[in-house]
Amino acid sequence: MRELTNAEEDIMRVLWRLKKGFVKDVLAELPALDSTGEKPAYNTVSTIIRILEKKGVVGYTAYGKTHEYYPLISEDEYRRFQTEQLMTNYFDGSLQKLVSFFVKERNVSLNEADEIIDLLNRQKP
């Protein structure tokens, strides 16, 4: 799997939510680009969806010249991929370094730490 750009991720989030849709459906669900409230151009969305198709993360059903698109990977699959990339690229593949970073940066409260410990304890075989 390849990493997606921010624009590609935005479109994938819409497709994950919709399950399937035409370019116009995806466009309708995308947030505005800026404070003007304007959305990306139809052709821009169409081009990004075709790129996602080439990357193997979006499939389609053809209805003549119209295509209905759907995700080929789940949001959880992409989340796992991104987490692995984050751990590998920034934390030498170490879960301990990743957690330590977030504990320091997010000022994890004792209640949150207890919840994390409880979660880890529940995962023990």
pLDDT averaged over the chain? 91
The values of phi and psi at residue 73, to 5°, are -125, 150
pLDDT computed for residue 103 by the predictor: 81
DSSP code string of 98-124: HHHHHHHHHT--HHHHHHHHHHHHHH-
pLDDT computed for residue 27 by the predictor: 95
pLDDT band of residue 122 (cuts 50, 70, 90) is: confident
Q: What integer is the mean pLDDT of 92-115? A: 85
Q: Residues spanned by CATH 1.10.10.10 within the chain?
A: 6-71
Domain 6-71 has CATH 1.10.3720.10: no
Q: Which two tokens stand for residue 113?
A: 């730490």
Q: What is the pTM of this model?
A: 0.80
pLDDT computed for residue 119 by the predictor: 85
CB 73 within 8 A of CB 59: no
Q: Which two tokens stand for residue 46?
A: 């169409």
